[in-house]
Chain A
Amino acid sequence: GAGVSQSPRYKVAKRGQDVALRCDPISGHVSLFWYQQALGQGPEFLTYFQNEAQLDKSGLPSDRFFAERPEGSVSTLKIQRTQQEDSAVYLCASSSAGGSYEQYFGPGTRLTVT
């Protein structure tokens, strides 16, 4: 079956531009997570959805970051007025309902802000 997919895989943005990153979770997975992974570091949590509800956005670094999942499936992470420090790999993960806590990760979108 299909895993988590993300698009685009690579994005180059000029400083100040807005970007939108897409995540298609595994079909039927109710939970969706976004993480930011800087070069040489582990992923850091950004936000979490259960279905269409954003239950935790404590990791979003500023109000320039916004995520949505309007129909409880596909999610978009939007970054407004990109800065160089936003350069990172953005990972999406999904998991099914239940207590296994296993998250399935997509390949990530590498964002480079120039």
Chain B
Amino acid sequence: GDSVTQMEGPVTLSEEAFLTINCTYTATGYPSLFWYVQYPGEGLQLLLKATKADDKGSNKGFEATYRKETTSFHLEKGSVQVSDSAVYFCALSKTGRRALTFGSGTRLQVQP
């Protein structure tokens, strides 16, 4: 079946450091890919998405590129802030099936 694998956390960075959170997927066909973020005490929010190969999703300084050849959708940010501390979830959905398949999440802690 479909699955998403994320790097384990927590990831601890200093403010202004470069961030990469790895995400790879297993799925037949051409899924849409997403990054969701969960800030402390809040619900899951969509951060960015990409619906076809080579698409780049971006939002709030975060970027991820849909790489079909490596089945990856790594999340990057050039300069993290303390306010980026949260749990990040990579997810996919298949055409015609609206349900999301999530990875296990990666906790990011940014220290001042």
How far, in angstroms, from A41 to B34 measured CA to CA in the complex?
A: 17
Also in contact, A4 and B46, with CB within 8 A (given A33-B98, A101-B93): no
Residues of B94-112 whose CB lies within 8 A of A: 97-105
Also in contact, A40 and B104, with CB within 8 A (given A33-B99, A45-B99, A101-B98): yes
Question: Which residues on the B side are within 8 Å of A42 (C-beta)?
Answer: 4, 89, 91, 102-105
Dominant SS at the B interface?
Answer: strand
B104 touches A48 (CB 8 A): no
A56 touches B97 (CB 8 A): yes
Residue in B45, B89, B99, B101 with the greatest tally of chain A CB atoms within 10 Å: B99
Also in contact, A45 and B104, with CB within 8 A (given A91-B44, A105-B44, A107-B43): no
B99 touches A43 (CB 8 A): no
Q: Mark B49-76, 1 if CB is under 8 A from A, else 0.
A: 1010000000000000000000000000
Residues of B at under 8 Å CB distance from A? 4, 32, 34, 36, 42-46, 49, 51, 89, 91, 93, 97-105
Beyond known contacts A41-B105, A42-B104, A107-B43: 7 more, CB 8 A cutoff: A40-B105, A41-B104, A45-B101, A48-B98, A91-B43, A101-B93, A107-B42
